[in-house]
Amino acid sequence: MTSENLLQADVVVIGFGKGGKIAAGTLGRLGRRVVLIERSDQMYGGTCPNVGCVPTKALVHRSGQRRANDPPQEWFERAVGEVQAITSAFRAGNFEALDGAETITLITGEASFVDPHTIAVETGAGRVEVRGETILINTGSEPVIPDIPGLRDSPLTVTNVDLIHTTHLPDRLVVIGGGYLGIEFASIYRRFGAQVTVLEASPRILGREDDDIAAVAERILTDEGVRIVPGARVLEIRGDDTVVYEKDGREHTLSADAILSATGRRPATAALRLDNAGVRTTASGAVEVDEYLRTAQPHIFALGDVNGGPQFTYISLDDSRIVLDQLIGDGKRTTTDRVAVPQTLFMSPPLATVGLTEKAARAAGHRIKVGYQAVADIVAMPRAYIVEETRGAMKFVIDLDTDQILGAALLSVDAQELINVVALAMRQGVTASALQSSIFTHPSSTEAFNDVIGAVVRSD
């Protein structure tokens, strides 16, 4: 440190997300002088423990515990309070884990580049400048509010971040967008007792999935009372509480108490002044990186959502491994090493997928066979009946020539865990037949694989 307002660091990390905190902690323990900058004291630890994975999945759990005679508003308010207590504990734990280290300095404030090595931070106590030999950008992403007349100005408009912080359960929630984010929140808030309508511009929800899996998911949601309107183009937000949309050439209106914009997230780069650092961005605003996560400046890296990759906490974690391999390893690890990366939509029950869908496999020229069963029909899966969750379906897409698993979609109890077994099998080259004939504990959800893989419904 050369003065009170100028810090010298070996490594500067902008953003306290998963990848950034892992890199900062690892390098700090190795004796590197690390400065970690986070713009909000409510975001120590990043999106996941504060406004993403942890609170939303905690709400999924609590929404499923509400009984029919539990007053919705009282149950919701208590649930939100419990969830906020969890996120506060996680946030404090993340702060203490790094702030107490001798080699790590934590600054709370808005960061922007002055030049390729210097970052200005506007804190509550004034401006601080930090100069670093290596800089890691880990600022994450932020919700997108589409340019629909009246939407941005409406007092009813909320993002997913806004929604999980409110203790008032909206009687009527309108969700704009039927992708993963929109469907997850639709499921949560319907189970808490809100009237939920999902407006999706495409012909159906979950457009990335095969038709059969999407149809099962839609049936589960509609059976729970979620109203889904496909092919709906939102035209405007009119007055105090009216959503206007077009479907099949006709104009329709909906009354709402809250309007969730669930049309995606974009990299949070606007405030960074990346031009001052000579760092390029893509058309979507993401930091442009190579397979080693280096930017146009060799000493500057970008980790997590901000680099335009898949927006998952576990990808940010893997990004930290790639960057650390560049800084303290042999420099061989890259983003191209990633194979069979799974993902989960936490509706109830969850939908977890990995690899190719059936339509993608056919488009890629594979000769395939498809194993498919409704969960209620899987004899080898008594756990579904034990826990009283027999909704859903399981599907495997298998290469007919090699018997390799090309992809899977699991819409079932425990799917978020099952998909990791499938992904590991795919990464290790375990054949579908080998997975099907494996020995699994009983009664467990995994043993469903003994049946489903062999339940071939289509074969080329």
Q: Is the dihedral of CA 394, 397, 402, 404 positive or negative?
A: negative
Per-residue tokens: 168: 């008032």
Report CA-CA distances (Å) from 125 to 2, 121, 151, 433. Answer: 18, 10, 35, 63
Do residues 371 and 452 lie in contact, with contact meaning Cβ atoms separated by under 8 Å? yes
Per-residue tokens: 322: 């790639």
Q: Distance (Å, rounded) from C-alpha 149 to C-alpha 235?
A: 7
Q: Which residues are catalytic?
A: 442
In the block, residue with structure tokens 């890199």? 23
Q: Which amino acid is at 47?
A: T
Nearest residue to 451 via CA among 388, 360, 384, 381: 381
Count of CA atoms in the C-beta half-sphere (13 A) of 42: 6
Do residues 301 and 293 lie in contact, with contact meaning Cβ atoms separated by under 8 Å? yes
